[in-house]
Amino acid sequence: MKKIHFSRSSLGIPYGIFLVLFVVFPLLIILFYAFTDGQGRFSAENFIFFFSNGKTLGTLAYSLGIAASTTAASLLLAYPAAFILAKGRFRRRPVLLMLFILPMWINFTLRMTALKEILTVIEKNLAYYPFMNTVIGMTYDFLPFMILPVYNSIAKIDDSYAEAAMDLGAKPAQVFLKVMLPLSVPGIISGVMMVFLPAMTNYVVLDMLYNSTYIMGSLIGSYFSAYDWHNGSLISMILLAIILGFSLCSREFAGQKEERTGGIRI
Amino acid sequence: MIKKILPALWLAVVLLFLYVPVCLLAVYSFTDSSMIGSIRRFSLDNYRVLFTEPELRHMIVGTLLLALAVSAISTVLGTTGAIGAFYAKRRRRLCLELMNQIPVVNAEVVTGFSVCILLIVFLKIDKTTYIPLIAGLVSLCSPFVYLSVLPRLKQMDAGIYEAALDLGCTPWQALRKVVLPQLVPGIFSGFVMSVTLTLDDYFISTYTKPTLFDTISTYVVNATKGEQTEIKTALWALSTILFLCVCIVVLGMNLLGRKEQGGQEGQGSAR
């Protein structure tokens, strides 16, 4: 019997080895390259340069601005849509939901080409509003990734919570603000994670919409073209730190949420 | 009255935002105009160029072959990984789950760059062998296969495997003939997801691809920088064809899934 168990779980060994080799190991190498110089000696020079140079800090600030605006815009569009989809009465809800998710399966460079053509017709020259165009482009690209998790978390909310709140005298606005919105926070957080990070790094959207300002991703791209592995690794490291921070935060929030829903149940 | 119209209007606005660009481009791909807004006349020229221009044909066939190869490898790795993790002891399972989560939450730029640093810069593997490209894309896709197979394993009745053993199957037979068929929908949607992820990817491909090879994404990005209108409008045709393919596959999967689940609602299985 023991042998059988061994044989089933050992099926995961190739995948485990693969993940260590091609996922964990590359990240360690990046850490190594970020803090060494051309001769392989330890050096924090790139690190100090990044955080003391106006240009690179400006890039960080600009990509945070783009990411924050994109996240806000997609949440603003996606939340009501997800809410309506989850709680409205539709005969063909799965098909309707699929329509909102489907664009994420189409190659994003081709979709961006389409958006660029439209924006060019509307604005004549894309160079006038680079920031706005970029936010529109990224929202267009990432919107489905916001709708899906928000929809899932709203769909999970039991209707009886809202009914109970109404029976206890809450107005519709209060029901939304005090019951529905707090219960959908986990979905909002995972949606934000799906949008914020790509918005900091997807420099192809900027390239295709003729926005020549750099974001964090463009820095990696330009260091890659210049064979500057050490600085490129450092930028990747900084992005990884941001991702890690986000993940820890979301876990914290999710934990609080579970407690709170538990509270409601009692 | 307003209460009824407003929600529908909101959904319509979001859908218009998502679909107007792609659909308008699809309409214009059937004309001979090179700009949206200047209607001329019906023409299939873009489609002719798309299928006859050798450069374009190589790029499309190459990307499709790459997507199939990557998806096949990812599906095998992700599926075996999920089965292994499901039956493994708690600590090993958590370890695998954690590593699996890294490519899912990581930015694609960072994934691509890190694979490039390890394989091309550190281990000095030749880019022209396609090994870095395939390894990078598999490390992006297989976690999604894993994530779509795992729920199937959790839904499965644990007793049937034991029953198969009692009825005289060897563990391998039981796995292949009893467990695996139950996982097929998950494996299939993982495979489809891998194909679309590979077709969609830009960053991992740019950092790890052989210099002379182009995927759809890298080709489109380079083509839009140049001023070749014939290629540019042929890409509109490509966009239209891909759009139709995605519609057919997604709707088909949805219908199949619904038939199987007996009309159960709200299963957003993508990503």
Shortest Cα–Cα distance, B103 to chain A (Å): 7
Indicate yes or no: CB of A33 within 8 angstroms of CB of B100.
Answer: no
Confidence check: pLDDT of B57 > 70:
yes
CB contact under 8 A, A107 and B216: yes
Are residues B136 and B204 in contact, defined by beta-carbon separation less than 8 angstroms?
A: yes
Q: Is B84 on the interface with A (CB under 8 A)?
A: yes
CA dihedral A131, A133, A137, A142 (to 10 degrees): 40
Residue of chain B minimizing CA distance to A84: B7
Of B23 and A265, the structure prediction assigns the larger pLDDT to: B23
Mutate to test the interface with A, among B10, B13, B14, B178 (most CBs of A within 10 A): B14
Separation between Cα atoms, residue A53 and residue A62, nearest integer Å = 14
Tell which CATH classification among 3.40.50.300, 1.10.3720.10, 3.20.20.80, 3.40.1160.10 matches the domain A56-224.
Answer: 1.10.3720.10
Q: Is the dihedral of CA B215, B220, B221, B225 positive or negative?
A: positive
SS3 B50: helix
Inter-chain touch A94–B87, beta carbons under 8 Å: no
Helix axes B216-225, B229-261, angle to 10 degrees: 150
**Whole-number Å distance between alpha carbons of B221 and A221:** 14
Find the CB nearest A247 among B77, B92, B105: B105
Nearest CA in chain A to B6: A84
In whole angstroms, what is the distance from residue B241 CA to residue B50 CA?
Answer: 11
The whole-number pLDDT of residue B126 equals 84
The domain limits of chain B are: 55-259
DSSP string, chain A: -HHHHHHHHGGGHHHHHHHIIIIIHHHHHHHHHHTB-TTS-B--HHHHHHHH-HHHHHHHHHHHHHHHHHHHHHHHHHHHHHHHHHHS--TTHHHHHHHHHGGGGS-HHHHHHHHHHHHHHHHS-GGG-HHHHHHHHHHHHHHHHHHHHHHHHHHHS-HHHHHHHHHTT--HHHHIIIIIHHHTHHHHHHHHHHHHHHHHH-HHHHHHTT--S--HHHHHHHHHHTT-HHHHHHHHHHHHHHHHHHHHHHHHHHHHHHHHHHHHH-
- Interface size A-B, in CB pairs within 8 Å, comes to 273
Distance from CA of A76 to the nearest CA of B (A): 11
Query: Among A81, A151, A220, whose Cβ lies nearest the Cβ of B113?
Result: A220
CB A165 within 8 A of CB A152: no
pLDDT, position B70? 97
Q: What whole-number distance in Å separates Cα of residue A167 and Cα of residue B90?
A: 44
Chain A: nearest CA to B147, how far in angstroms?
13
Residue B217 burial class via C-beta count within 10 angstroms: exposed 0-12, middle 13-18, buried 19 and up: buried
Q: Do B250 and A220 touch (CB under 8 A)?
A: no
Tell me the pLDDT band of B43, cut-offs 50, 70 and 90.
confident
Nearest CA in chain B to A6: B88
What average pLDDT does range A219-233 have in this prediction?
91
C-alpha distance across the termini of chain B, in Å:
37
Phi, psi of B270, deg, nearest 5: -70, 145
Chain A CB contacts of B105 under 8 Å are 193, 197, 243, 246-247
pLDDT of residue A254: 60
Residue B43's SS3 state is coil
pLDDT digits (tens, 9 = 90+) for A108-133: 999 999 999 899 888 888 888 899 99
Question: Cβ contact (<8 Å) for B243 and A155?
Answer: no
| Residues A6-45: tens digit of each pLDDT | 567 788 899 999 999 999 999 999 999 999 887 878 888 8
In chain A, residues with a C-beta closer than 8 Å to the C-beta of B135 are: 22
Q: CA B112 → CA A14, B138, B193, B201, B255, distances in Å?
A: 21, 11, 19, 10, 35
Interface ipTM above 0.90: no
Residues in chain B: 271
Q: Using an 8 Å Cβ cutoff, are B243 and B65 in contact?
A: no
Show the tokens assigned to A195: 């949008």
**CA-to-CA distance for B258 and B255, rounded, in angstroms?**
5
Q: For chain A, what are the domain ranges?
A: 56-224
Query: Contact A108/B200, CB-based, under 8 Å?
Result: yes
- Find, among A15, A142, A151, the residue nearest to B88 by Cα: A15
**CA distance linking residue A230 with residue A125, whole number of Å:** 37
Half-sphere exposure of A27 (CA within 13 A, CB side): 19
Q: How many CB atoms lie within 10 A of CB B236?
A: 26
- Interchain proximity B92–A152, CB inside 8 Å: no
Average pLDDT over residues A87-114: 87
Flag whether residue B78 sits within 8 Å of chain A, measured between CB atoms. Answer: yes
B115-150 residue pLDDT tens: 999 998 888 888 888 999 999 999 999 999 999 999
Q: Does B98 touch chain A (CB under 8 A)?
A: no
Alpha-helix residue ranges (DSSP H) falling in B117-179: 131-155, 159-166, 171-174
Sign of CA dihedral B26, B31, B36, B38: negative
Mean predicted lDDT score pLDDT of chain B: 87
Whether B105 and chain A come into contact, CB under 8 Å, resolves to yes
CB B211 within 8 A of CB B127: yes
Of B22, B202, B235, the CB nearest to A106: B22
> Is pLDDT above 50 for B264?
no
Q: What is the pLDDT of residue A144?
A: 93
Q: Are A101 and B249 in contact (CB under 8 A)?
A: no
Nearest to A244 by CA among A202, A200, A193, A199: A193
Identify the closest residue of chain B to A243 by CA–CA distance. Answer: B106
B250 contacts A110? CB cut-off 8 A:
no
Does 3.40.50.300 match the CATH number of domain B55-259?
A: no
| Average pLDDT of span B159-185 | 88
- How far apart CA B184 and CA A186 sit, in angstroms, is 30
Q: Pick A84's closest partner by Cβ from B11, B22, B146.
A: B11
Q: What is the DSSP letter of B125?
A: -
* B2-28 helix and A130-156 helix, angle to the nearest 10 degrees: 130
Rounded Cα distance between B71 and B142, Å, is 8
Mean pLDDT across the stretch A131-155? 94
- DSSP, collapsed to helix, strand or coil, labels residue A129 as coil
| Contact criterion met (CB < 8 Å) for B114 and A96 | no
Q: With bands split at pLDDT 50, 70 and 90, how would you rate the model's confidence at B209?
A: very high
What is the reported pLDDT for B267? 39
